Amino acid sequence: FEKNLEKENLYLEYDKKLDETIFEKKDKIFTLTYTKDKDYLFEEDKEKYFDNASRSRIVNFILRRKPFSDDKTEAFSFGKHIYDICVNKMIKDGHYSDAYPLHEGHWKPGSVDNTRKRLFDYWANWRNFLKVQPLDHVRKYFGEKIAIYFTWLGFYTQMLIPASIVGLVVFFYGCGISGGSYPAKEVCDPNKNFTMCPLCDFQCPYWDLRASCSHVVISRIFDNGGTVFFAIFMSLWGTLFLEFWKRKQAKMQYLWDLTDFVKEEPPPRPEYLAQLENVTTYKEDPVTGMKEPHLPFWRKRVPIYLMSWSIMFFLAMLAVVAVVGVIAYRVSVLAALQIYSRLAFKLTDWECLRTQKDYDDSITLKLFALQFVNYYSSIFYIAFIKGRIVGRPGNYNTFFGARQEECEAGGCLIELCIQLAIIMTGKQLIVNNIMEIVIPKLIKLIKRKIFKISKEKKMNAPPWERDYRLESAQHTALFYEYLEMVLQFGFLTIFVAAFPLGPLFALINNILEIRFDAIKFITQLRRPLAQRLPDIGIWYSVLYGISRIAIMSNAFIIALTSDYIPRLVYVYAYSPDGTLVDYMERTLSKFNTSDFQGSNVNVAQGVEICRYRDFRKPPNDPDKYEYSEMYWHILAARLAFVVIFENLIVIVTGFISWLIPDVPGELKIHIRREAYITNEIIIKTELLR
Amino acid sequence: FEKNLEKENLYLEYDKKLDETIFEKKDKIFTLTYTKDKDYLFEEDKEKYFDNASRSRIVNFILRRKPFSDDKTEAFSFGKHIYDICVNKMIKDGHYSDAYPLHEGHWKPGSVDNTRKRLFDYWANWRNFLKVQPLDHVRKYFGEKIAIYFTWLGFYTQMLIPASIVGLVVFFYGCGISGGSYPAKEVCDPNKNFTMCPLCDFQCPYWDLRASCSHVVISRIFDNGGTVFFAIFMSLWGTLFLEFWKRKQAKMQYLWDLTDFVKEEPPPRPEYLAQLENVTTYKEDPVTGMKEPHLPFWRKRVPIYLMSWSIMFFLAMLAVVAVVGVIAYRVSVLAALQIYSRLAFKLTDWECLRTQKDYDDSITLKLFALQFVNYYSSIFYIAFIKGRIVGRPGNYNTFFGARQEECEAGGCLIELCIQLAIIMTGKQLIVNNIMEIVIPKLIKLIKRKIFKISKEKKMNAPPWERDYRLESAQHTALFYEYLEMVLQFGFLTIFVAAFPLGPLFALINNILEIRFDAIKFITQLRRPLAQRLPDIGIWYSVLYGISRIAIMSNAFIIALTSDYIPRLVYVYAYSPDGTLVDYMERTLSKFNTSDFQGSNVNVAQGVEICRYRDFRKPPNDPDKYEYSEMYWHILAARLAFVVIFENLIVIVTGFISWLIPDVPGELKIHIRREAYITNEIIIKTELLR
């Protein structure tokens, strides 16, 4: 519980940009944990002691511990029967229908001025989509947890601007060079005639390489030196993003007095105590010394954990197999996902975790792992597996008797690119936002039709009735918001080498997303309980993990999926004149159709030699169809690229994050100044006493 | 300034193992920053308020600020003239010859019992080399900075035990398989006759591969699957070392009350103020508000920094060139190093850094960079460059007209191995320890001869005179101790793939090193000023950097320097029967001596075909002496190994350091318990008032 100490000018940037006529300008004031014996340090005005969010937290603290029983000994205890004695019990028993903090007035035009309305008008409204967010006021109204989310989202959106610009430049550069460049010219040349081997076992005909002309031209947009540069750029961008976020977070923590934030000794979750009602082994909590029911570690905890995580692993594998094996082209397996996340919650319940934080972290990791596998496995499949283990004409590898899928005529990169475009635009921009905005509106409309409540009656209802009609702000609401954004971050960093427009689409999406989320919290949900959290929690680790995976993934996409390295090797080692002329002629392998065996009926079409994409020896070689020297040469170059790229990026990013201090220098001085002034005041006052 | 709060049983392991009759058992007591208004929390006995080290720190604090001038306004100021008014000024002007804390009595047998003698007898003495260190008492006598060093050294030595054992097992496994294994059998076979091309341009004869028989057998000891396993093991060991050290450090910080350690607002260094005496631009210190001389950032700081670091970079490059180009075989360039480190100090003086910590960090990085380049560049040269860019017979690459050095007959790995053995045993074990112990003893002996001070007179001299005769404990004393150990850590992690016995030698060295250092601090140096430091500072970053470099380096040594990958490729892809039979026959390239040109006079020796180590096409091929398919195949396999090894290790180590919490769970509970109890007492006492 803090109070003001002394005013000093320390405005934040966004405070300066805010319209001061609407949101009162707030000076940064020195704050200090309140102690009674140093009363002289604090302001006199008791009304200003606590802000709106703190008050609702205090009320909730009291309600959650106020016993509805006559047993005086249990007053304000964290003991076993908390689930039976507090407001939760009353709700469970049906005496109350629910308990929630109230919104401040109404947001609709024409209602009396209040914080909610002001936030709606100048933050959540569409017109403000380019304005800075009044984060300080969001914090005061919704509490630190939600304010930190919007801070993060705003910061992420800002950081996307340079990435989008560079991405766009790279894209235009790609467009510029794609038409006149060599492999495309050769493929589209009407005088050349490459008869390609069929892409599947039955039905498929021999085909002319010219058919893939447009695909090759498009894939050249994304498959050039610019993309390599952009992949390096985005790897550094990811590191800078995390480093600068740490600094931003430190700044917000200081401004919001979360710097020395020590969590209150967390009580056990009510559900946890309810689950353990039948457990007879009690154990003293080592901190508080109070008796709590206890699960023996080796006998109970370990088997439950093992089972829980092995089931999760099994599910994830199942998802991978399903996506890769059967439905590689579908964007995601929505139905299965629903069942999976239900199961994840059940499993986490089983784990019987004591505090809310443990529970949240566990469920976050589980759900994220499932979503990651679900969304990313089809993309990973296209990027690294599809068309790579097909074997060669006449000796295809089979899997349960079926030949492996091959990439389309233009190569795997273009397929990857199309998939990403679908996800980034279709799913992220359109489907998600419709789900978030349109469907709740529809539900509300239907509800209104059914219950036939007139607008006037509604406006006149007492605030608790009005709020009761809104959806309850569930504990996991913010989780899904974070999840959506983190998955997006993953798409645009992990696969940036295949789709440089990713950051741009993400930027557009997020500018909308901020306002969508703001509208949701202000108009569609009950006011959530203000929670104090100093950071974005386990999501930071997840983001860090993604940025590391991105480095590997980009190295492999450029080296293995794109044609960049083979072209380079051709130019430097095989081309007679140091250009890409005759690249296709010399790199497409030859196959003698008389070597087709058994079921393959394509022999009859009168073609003697067909071509296929691979580096193998021609039919007239003694080791025919073995990998050629060029294959090993290109493979060595590809792997050398991976080694150089990864090590370079790891060294540079490591150096960058070592160089950038986690706390901005200016902030450090402010913190030290604050400590110094407090000390001076204390020393002076104590001397005067 | 701490004092006891309440006793509770929390013994540390090493406390248990200590002989309680000698060192009084010390219960861990709850401590708290002393505040006057909560006097009731503390013990009554004022004598116990401060320990020995704290007292000398307090005296030093007073002496450093006590003005020897009549100007009352400057009393206890951090102002400009501090260099002129304090004890330092008196020493500078010759009024005093020096100022230092005194040792407690004498350590020699027969003197009265005191802490110094007790520490000598039961810590520094050789007999104790297997006993745990009484770190708590070291801390009380020498202060936290030195105690943390010995804690770290002891911890490092302990961690070396498992590494040594595994290394020894790998070594014996290598010895076991080396004799009977294939390439060695083939090389030593008296019936085979490989005539090798000469290793240098003039003078060198053709030579028989059998001459390298013993080398090949020995190199097989270090060049097998066991080494690959050991490289992986040591990479994980390095990560675990750092993670567990963080935990150990957290524990020591808690026990020594450094957990919430906030440094006192650091005053400017006296040398800094002296340097700036002529500067006229003053600026208010943003924290204390006092006026201090100031160097403008862009006009002064940046040019100085740029120059300072570019000179360092130039020197480092010079060292690399010197080592690689001229004297690749010498262990180090000792003379140059002396000049270099003087220069490093001069440059850091130029940088004009305000606080002692900034200065220390800057000089540490500089000196470490120089030492790193000096010690490691010759090893890196042998590991990765030597014998790799020599070209081929008949077309050698030249460098200033001279042909590149080749590795000896046994290959580069065995040379690397020999170099490492020399450094680890010769330099580390013998030379360094002689330098540290024997030379100071000699100096002392000579001094005694010159000044002819009888033993009795010496024993009867007042303690300040006795101590004055000892060497002064310089600020950098601990720096060189850390440096030696960190360089050793580098040798054994970075090159572990070439020398699995490294950890064992390091272990032996360190068991001695602990006692050498202890003897040095107790008997040969004046008592250093007790300094409070919460951690090992910038050395942690250096160790972390080394452990990352080690992962890369080991991957490359196994892939590029050893013969492990070529043998694997031969077995799986080229060998007719899946064994290493005829490995040499099929991998040594052939050269037709009639293709020697110009100055090369070796043609006359009547040899038609000579062999050389490389994978090139035979003389009868149309592209003769070009890289063969096998070359590219092996290169691809080598790089694939690097990619897999690095990514695997990075993922696993990342996961490990994420899993292991930085603060042990038990300690967390203790800290929370302490906070809880303090709160309870405060609440109760305030209620009673």
Query: In chain A, positions 504-563, which contact chain B (CB-CB < 8 Å)?
Result: 541, 545, 548, 552
**Cα–Cα distance for residue pair B487/B689, rounded to 1 Å:** 60
Residue B299 or A214, more confident: A214
Start-to-end C-alpha separation, chain B: 26
CB contact under 8 A, A286 and B36: no
Which residues 266-295 on chain A approach chain B with CB closer than 8 angstroms? Answer: 286-288
Nearest to B284 by CA among B540, B78, B138, B569: B78
What are the pLDDT digits (tens) for B537-587? 788 888 998 998 899 898 998 888 888 888 888 888 888 887 777 787 777
pLDDT at A14 over 60: no
DSSP-assigned letters across all residues of B146-167: HHHHHHHHHHHHHHHHHHHHHH
Of residues B107 and B167, more confidently modeled? B167
**Smallest Cβ distance to A541: which of B646, B658, B675?**
B658
| Under 8 Å between Cβ of A496 and A122 | no
Cβ partners under 8 Å of residue B551, min gap 6: B235, B645, B646, B649, B650, B653
What was the ipTM of the complex prediction? 0.75
Tell me, yes or no, if A572 comes closer than 8 A to chain B by beta carbon. Answer: no
Minimum mean pLDDT among A247-261, A309-323, A592-606, B225-239: which range?
A592-606
Instruction: For Cα atoms B343, B345, B348, give the angle at the middle one, nearest 5 degrees.
Output: 110
**Domain extent listing, chain B:** 1-49
How many angstroms away from the CA of B143 is the closest CA of chain A? 26
Cα–Cα distance, B51 to B28 (Å, whole number): 14
- The chain B residue lying nearest A545, using CA atoms, is B654
Summarised one tens digit per residue, pLDDT across range A311-337 is: 777 777 776 676 666 554 444 455 666
At residue A11, the pLDDT reads 34
Of residues B183 and A640, the one with the higher pLDDT is A640
CA-angle at B551, arms to B545 and B552, nearest 5°: 95
Q: Given A287, A629, A643, which is nearest B672 (Cβ)?
A: A287
Q: Determine the pLDDT at residue B294.
A: 63
Predicted local distance difference test score (pLDDT) of residue B2: 34
Residues 6+ apart with CB under 8 A from A436: A516, A517, A520
Helix axes B477-494 and B225-255, enclosed angle (nearest 10): 150
- Distance to chain A for B287, nearest Cα, Å: 4
Tokens of A124: 């959540």
Question: Which residues 401-460 in chain A show a CB within 8 A of chain B?
Answer: none
Distance CA B593, CA B595 (A): 5
Instruction: Decide if B643 and A640 are in contact by the 8 Å CB cutoff.
Output: no
| Residue-level pLDDT at A603 | 53
The DSSP letter of residue B284 is E
A266, closest residue in chain B (CA to CA): B672
Determine phi and psi for B396, rounding to 5 degrees.
Answer: -75, 145
- 3-class secondary structure, B471: strand
For helices B477-494 and B502-519, give the axis angle rounded to 10 degrees: 170
Q: Closest Cα of chain A to B637: distance in Å?
A: 8
Amino acid A285: pLDDT: 63
pLDDT in tens, A233-272: 998 999 999 999 988 888 888 777 776 555 555 566 666 6
Residues from chain B that touch A629, judged by Cβ atoms under 8 A, are: 628-629, 632
pLDDT band at A637 (very low <50, low <70, confident <90, very high): very high
**A577 to chain B nearest CA, in Å?**
18
DSSP code string of B399-432 = ETTEEPP---TT-HHHHHHHHHHIIIIIIIIIII
Of the ranges A9-13, B17-21, B34-38, B636-640, which is most confident?
A: B636-640
* Mean pLDDT in residue range B657-679: 75
Average pLDDT, chain B: 74
The reply to whether A36 touches chain B by the CB within 8 Å rule is: yes
CB contact under 8 A, A552 and B647: yes
Residue among B650, B672, B686 whose CB faces A265 most closely: B672
Which member of B629, B642, B675 has the closest CB to residue A632? B629
Q: How close A665 comes to chain B (CA, Å)? A: 11
Q: Does A594 touch chain B (CB under 8 A)?
A: no
Give the span between the Cα atoms of B608 and B602, in whole angstroms: 11
